[in-house]
Structure 1
Amino acid sequence: MESYYPDQTDLAILKLLQQEARLTYNEIGRRLHKSKSPIIERIRRLEKLGYIRGYVALLDYELLRDCMMAYVHIRLLDHSGTALKEFQSAVSSYPEVLECCHTTGEDDFILKVVTSSLQSYNAFLRQKLDSLPNIGQVSSSMVLAQAKHSTAVPF
């Protein structure tokens, strides 16, 4: 993969797309005082190089009836490279896991998990997490309300 770091125009495009991914090439060009063609080329390059991994719709969890979120803090027994990769691979395959972060501090991993109910969350813990080898300790924090939800990277 070619070595490339986005310039100021690329960063401006990325910022706009983070705010509203459905902007047209023409609208992005208008806002950045550029024509449509270079905007298309830049966005395609940013996609090809992996700066833009995809486009999604952000949902409001609180408006979804059957939706609850939890942060799951996990400590592993074995911290070898193989054990860490196996854990990450296993939990990343679960659709309930939205994020899997390897962290510093007391916990080794923090998972962001969404299920339809407390009962389905309990089933996730018992049938999926508990079946994994190398789990030392698991603690959960249930989300009561979400004051901010953003995926935009500040730069």
Structure 2
Amino acid sequence: MEPQIDEMDRRILSVLQRAGRISNADLAERVHLSASACHRRVQRLEKEGFLREYVALLNARQMGFPTMAFVEISLAGQADELLEAFEREVALVPEVLECHLMAGTADYILKVVARDTDDFARVHRQKLARLPGVQGMQSSFALRTVFKTTALPV
């Protein structure tokens, strides 16, 4: 099902997801709209949930978290209660940036940041291994980030 947005909305969204702090006046100029029309569209896009939130994306390396790992988690079962308990608890681990329920060999894949491999070992042992229902884990370390974006194709 295609979202109910037009080409102008797409242009606005494209600019905002790359420059979330842009002023309304500058946004209106970039998409060739009046400031008031642009503001109304942005408000509607927010209200309808196309714009979820505005955030600052921090540099993990500058913040002292240069190590990134992807952790495949296998649970002991698939009962709704177990999945819900796991999801509730994993959301409380600050080093976990993303958690995805998977179809395939793993039940979940986590994106985890750490200060170094010793720090990752601590997170793995003290936090991830203690999550509800964890039966097995397989970790892979990112050697280098080749490409990264938060921008969706609009």
TM above 0.5, one fold?
Answer: yes
Q: CA deviation at 1:135?
A: 0.8
Q: Distance in 1 between matches of 2:92 and 2:37?
A: 38
> Match for residue 98 of structure 2?
99
Report the RMSD for the aligned CA atoms in angstroms. 1.7
Q: SS where residue 152 of structure 1 aligns?
A: coil
Runs of 4+ aligned residues of structure 1 deviating over 4 Å after TM superposition are 62-66
Q: SS where residue 49 of structure 2 aligns?
A: coil
Q: TM-score, normalised on structure 2?
A: 0.89
The equivalences for 1:44-123 within 5 A come to 44-123=43-122
Q: Which moved more, 1:77-86 or 1:103-112?
A: 77-86
Corresponding letter in the other structure for 2:15: L
Contact 2:85/2:132 (CA < 8 Å) preserved in 1?
A: no
Kindly indicate which of the two structures has a greater share of residues assigned to helix.
Answer: 1
Q: CA deviation at 1:59?
A: 3.2
Contact 2:89/2:132 (CA < 8 Å) preserved in 1?
A: no
Gap runs ≥5 in structure 2? none
> Match for residue 130 of structure 1?
129
Task: Name the CA shift for 1:13/1:135 in 2 (closer, same or farther; >3 Å).
Answer: same
Q: SS where residue 17 of structure 2 aligns?
A: helix
Q: Distance in 2 between matches of 1:96 and 1:111?
A: 10
1:38-81 residue CA offsets vs partner (Å, 9 max, x unmatched): 21122122222322122222334345544311101111111122
Tell me whether 1:37 sits opposite 2:36 in the alignment. Answer: yes
Corresponding letter in the other structure for 1:15: S
How many residues are treated as equivalent by the alignment?
Answer: 152
> Match for residue 4 of structure 2?
5
Q: CA deviation at 1:116?
A: 1.4
Corresponding letter in the other structure for 2:108: F
